Amino acid sequence: MDFQPLPHAFPFRFADGVVERTGPAAGRVRACVTANAAAVRATGFPAAALAELVAQSALLLQGGDAALGRRGFLAGISDFSVERLPVAGDVLTIDVAIAGRLGDTVKFEGVVRDAVGEAVARGFVTVKQGGS
């Protein structure tokens, strides 16, 4: 899959690509936990990175406009819970959809699932487009 639209680069790019679209701003994205396996095994995958994964998934589903991504930022995380931390080698799917919009501020709901479909994390991220 082509990653050029996302402004994120290794090692901060978590989302691999869109698996399926279920609407104009909803769908499923795939990610693989490929961080340094020894570090992840010792300390676990950072919980905050799961919220960033939801935000990157939302950007991919909205077309991955690099200009918007560079002029916007993750403005909030709410009601975000983590059931378990992923480990190196986990293949995750992220279901994401717009939960609300007010001007250039968009709230997304996301659920991160493991390979067997169990929820790993779920919650809301708010992205503010425009000046950083």
Does 44 fall in a domain? Answer: yes
Residues 6+ away with beta carbon under 8 Å from 110: 53, 54, 57, 58, 94, 95, 96, 97, 122, 123, 124, 125
For residue 28, tell me if it sits in a domain: no
pLDDT in tens, 40-52: 556 666 778 889 8
Closest of 55, 47, 43 to residue 14, by C-alpha? 55
- The Cα–Cα gap between 105 and 111 comes to 20
**pLDDT one-digit tens code per residue, 61-99:** 766 555 555 556 788 999 999 998 887 778 888 999 989
User: pLDDT tens digit string along 10-69?
Assistant: 566 677 777 888 877 788 887 877 655 555 556 666 778 889 888 888 877 766 555 555
Domain count, the chain: 1
In a domain, 77, yes or no: yes
Range of the domain at 44: 1-21+35-84+96-132
Q: Tell me the C-alpha distance between 95 and 122, whole Å.
A: 9
**What pTM does this model have?**
0.77
CA 119-47-20 angle, 5° bins:
45
